[in-house]
Structure 1
């Protein structure tokens, strides 16, 4: 079978990595790159830099990756859908729910694979975590907490921290728990002088009853990417910056210290740090997209799922503005 002819729209900070992986994975041939801003990172090689999505389509491509600013996702995706091109759009799916829904509808109507780049699902720590949860290693899940903090990225100018970063945590939490968000309450802060929020704290509950908490900001000098899942048998800690997964088991040894044993909760048990293969998440994501296009079994993040994540983000922002909890519609 001939390789899928791939086009890439946008070769900025994220697009340059897409270009590398598209050149490396089996069954895909990167044949065209477009970016109205040129090639700041010198990734085009022998390929010319085309001016826009129309020129990209004219080359004749089977699949496309859209890695331009969020505000331009809809225009590019709708043009690609109209041209019959399977498309992976970077997260978030779009700048608004209306725009995201138009994208979902366009790809569904055309019978095309439309995917969203929620890359954390493909992080080895989270994939290992979900496998262990499905195997019953934690028993009943009680709570999922995430922390995603770090310095402000000057390249992000068109959305706030909720859409750019919290969308990762919302998607991965629903995916790990295999449950949708039911209710959220959020608070935001604006400290950097921009029109968009640079800090958000979200608490909520999933339809399964699992309690969730997300702390996300662009105001921390330290970079942190942590997911903690607490349940019946202990707690998993996934560090997605390093791909590490650690299990903290509930203790089974009787306590003889009276002031501690009088607390009728759990006690500290064994701590296990797992060893498992760690593949680059972006490569695994591209392989899932390729497989979906070829009709193979795939865990690609669909546009419908990306739209649901955006709905949760928008609901959280509405909650922060109103100062009240908000319920998600079905």
Structure 2
């Protein structure tokens, strides 16, 4: 790959829908990043988006990938296209940032990982909540061994996605193109859960389509047994009345307890370690208010991390192998729903 050490890195965004502004606005806020192009199959949407963010519009991502003016591609399309477009981008010599889920199957996730490896390009999965200050503070305590033996943890998403949300596009809530509340909304928190607790060994869960007119689940509950013997509990719902309530991550060990809450795991609500009263007071005093949306504050930092990985030839914070882990847990929960039996990992699709 060309040396980009002292040059601006140029981005192309594929998909100009609901999440795309978070990517484009974050790119434009980074001094040494440029937004070169945007792409969407809907002509009016692509052109309007390009005018708003001063980029070149494309209707065909294959045509966009032939441009020599793009270094990094961000894939923000419907979920079933993530792997296909990411593979094409890698083969075109572009570094790849892909929205969650990185793929809809483990097989396609593995093909994306392999394509990027063979092309010598970087692959980063957009799990931006790893860059929340609350999550970084928790991770540092975990890496310092302050929890002692981990006992259990809980990841909870209590949000609202009403009928209007699912009617925005025919692919929303479908099995093949989108998934349900686990795959679409809760995957970020499941990523954090497994990142903190370590490799998962066994999964059992239930899903239900309770209120929304969709093919997949709008409510789910699951239990994970991790390799270290600890237990994880997942609660996920897009049915919360009347609006988004919370996304929380609770981690418990023999000598520590931390609860991160807020609308998007953005606020530390409990911080209990031996002799930590002054530390806790400082943490609470420094915290920001809730972000303006559930997308949080982490997009700019994860994009900057990808740029550093490209320049320094290092591994992105959330490489494909990491993004695959939350996907595997969710697919295991889906398999539990089909079979009524616990599922051992690694999952065989």
TM-score range, shorter chain: 0.7 to 0.9
Residue 196 of structure 2 aligns to a residue whose secondary structure is helix
The C-alpha deviation readout for 1:188-240, integer Å capped at 9, x for no partner, is 10122311111111101111222100100111124210111111124101125
The 5-angstrom pairing of residues 30-179 of structure 1 reads 30-37=35-42, 38-39=44-45, 42-44=48-50, 45=52, 46-60=54-68, 61-152=70-161, 153-154=165-166, 155=168, 156-157=172-173, 158-177=178-197, 179=198
For residue 245 of structure 1, what is the aligned residue in structure 2? 268
**C-alpha distance in 2, partners of 1:74/1:85?**
14
Residue 97 of structure 2 aligns to a residue whose secondary structure is strand
The C-alpha deviation readout for 1:164-211, integer Å capped at 9, x for no partner, is 12322221112123x111111000101223111111111011112221
For residue 262 of structure 1, what is the aligned residue in structure 2? none
Query: Which shifted more, 7-16 or 147-156?
Result: 147-156
**C-alpha distance in 1, partners of 2:188/2:274?**
32
Query: Which shifted more, 185-194 or 279-288?
Result: 279-288
For residue 28 of structure 2, what is the aligned residue in structure 1? 23
Residue 59 of structure 1 aligns to a residue whose secondary structure is coil
| Structure 2 gap ranges (5+) | 1-5, 289-295
Are the counterparts in 1 of residues 75 and 96 from structure 2 also a CA contact under 8 Å? yes
Whether 1:7 and 2:29 are equivalent positions in the alignment is: no
Are the counterparts in 2 of residues 288 and 298 from structure 1 also a CA contact under 8 Å? no
**Higher Cα radius of gyration:** 1
Residue 68 of structure 1 aligns to a residue whose secondary structure is coil
Question: TM-score scaled to structure 2, two decimals?
Answer: 0.83
Whether 1:235 and 2:257 are equivalent positions in the alignment is: yes
Are the counterparts in 1 of residues 246 and 263 from structure 2 also a CA contact under 8 Å? yes
Are the counterparts in 1 of residues 46 and 57 from structure 2 also a CA contact under 8 Å? no
Cα deviation for residue 78 of structure 1 reads: 1.5
The C-alpha deviation readout for 1:238-258, integer Å capped at 9, x for no partner, is 125362113353899xxxxxx
**C-alpha distance in 2, partners of 1:249/1:307?**
32
| Structure 1 gap ranges (5+) | 253-268
For residue 293 of structure 2, what is the aligned residue in structure 1? none
Cα deviation for residue 41 of structure 1 reads: 10
User: How many positions carry a matched residue from both structures?
Assistant: 313
Are the counterparts in 2 of residues 32 and 59 from structure 1 also a CA contact under 8 Å? no
Are the counterparts in 1 of residues 146 and 256 from structure 2 also a CA contact under 8 Å? no
**C-alpha distance in 1, partners of 2:298/2:268?**
15
Are the counterparts in 2 of residues 70 and 94 from structure 1 also a CA contact under 8 Å? yes
Whether 1:328 and 2:345 are equivalent positions in the alignment is: yes
Distance 1:170 1:226, change over 3 A: same
Cα deviation for residue 309 of structure 1 reads: 2.0
Residue 168 of structure 1 aligns to a residue whose secondary structure is helix
For residue 187 of structure 1, what is the aligned residue in structure 2? 206
Query: Which shifted more, 161-170 or 269-278?
Result: 269-278
Cα deviation for residue 125 of structure 1 reads: 1.0
Cα deviation for residue 131 of structure 1 reads: 0.7
**C-alpha distance in 2, partners of 1:49/1:218?**
34
